[in-house]
């Protein structure tokens, strides 16, 4: 029996989806540790103990792998707008993700500000804008509140502000203290604007 055959028999066969997910998760970890520049098909294959051909079976090239990582990051960030979660959980989730994954967030922000359609990097954009516009129209009929601009300001502050605060304003504070301060201030802003469902 060949060594390759013994290896295949020695470990259970994984499905395509599971392997695909593990590749993305490993790529996410590598980017977090070494930055996007440190990620390549060869590095991912070596890290996972698989062949480059296996990686290419899932991703046509490094750019396709990076695109999958950006989609993964976008999905994590989108949880911050999932109304099935309590507002506090959403705020904590986004702030913690931004602070714990600066390299991933940098990749996502680069896409966000590149001039490409925001709907590609943030798939929940339209429902978010439409939902807030309807809420503003109902609660503040005498004010003309621009939900698109409002959402742009809120997303930008949620995804960029914690990183700036942690790196440039208060690098002396532990992560938990920064998260607590951002949660408190975001709730104040949401209450002011009539958007804090937990108020």
Mean pLDDT, the chain, rounded, equals 84
Instruction: Report residue 121's pLDDT band, with 50, 70 and 90 as the boundaries.
Output: low
Contacts of range 100-103, beta carbons closer than 8 Å, 24 or more positions apart: 100/175, 101/28, 101/32, 101/73, 101/76, 102/32, 102/163, 103/31, 103/32, 103/35, 103/36
Q: For 131-164, how does the pLDDT look when each residue is reduced to its tens digit (9 = 90+)?
A: 889 988 988 888 898 999 998 898 888 888 999 9
Q: Which pLDDT does position 179 carry in this prediction? A: 94
CB-count exposure of residue 75 (10 Å: 0-12, 13-18, 19+): exposed
Q: For 15-64, how does the pLDDT look when each residue is reduced to its tens digit (9 = 90+)?
A: 888 999 999 999 999 998 888 888 999 999 999 999 999 999 999 999 99
| Residue 74 to residues 81, 119, 146, 186, Cα–Cα distance (Å) | 11, 11, 24, 20
């Amino acid at each position: 029996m060949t060594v390759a055959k013994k290896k295949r028999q020695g470990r259970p066969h994984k499905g395509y989806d599971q392997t695909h997910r593990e590749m993305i998760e490993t790529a996410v970890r590598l980017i977090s540790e070494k930055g996007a520049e440190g990620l390549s098909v060869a590095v991912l294959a070596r890290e996972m103990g698989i062949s480059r051909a296996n990686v290419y079976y899932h991703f046509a090239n490094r750019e396709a792998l990076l695109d999958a990582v950006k989609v993964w990051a976008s999905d994590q960030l989108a949880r911050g707008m999932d109304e099935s979660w309590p507002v506090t959980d959403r705020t904590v989730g986004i702030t913690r993700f931004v602070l714990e994954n600066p390299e991933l967030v940098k990749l996502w922000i680069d896409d966000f500000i590149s001039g490409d359609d925001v709907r590609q990097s943030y798939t929940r954009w339209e429902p978010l804008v439409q939902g807030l516009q309807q809420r503003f129209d109902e609660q503040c009929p005498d004010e003309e509140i621009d939900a698109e601009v409002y959402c742009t300001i809120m997303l930008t502050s949620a995804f960029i502000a914690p990183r700036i605060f942690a790196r440039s304003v208060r690098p002396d504070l532990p992560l938990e203290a920064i998260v607590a301060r951002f949660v408190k201030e975001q709730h104040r802003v949401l209450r002011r604007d009539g958007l804090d469902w937990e108020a």
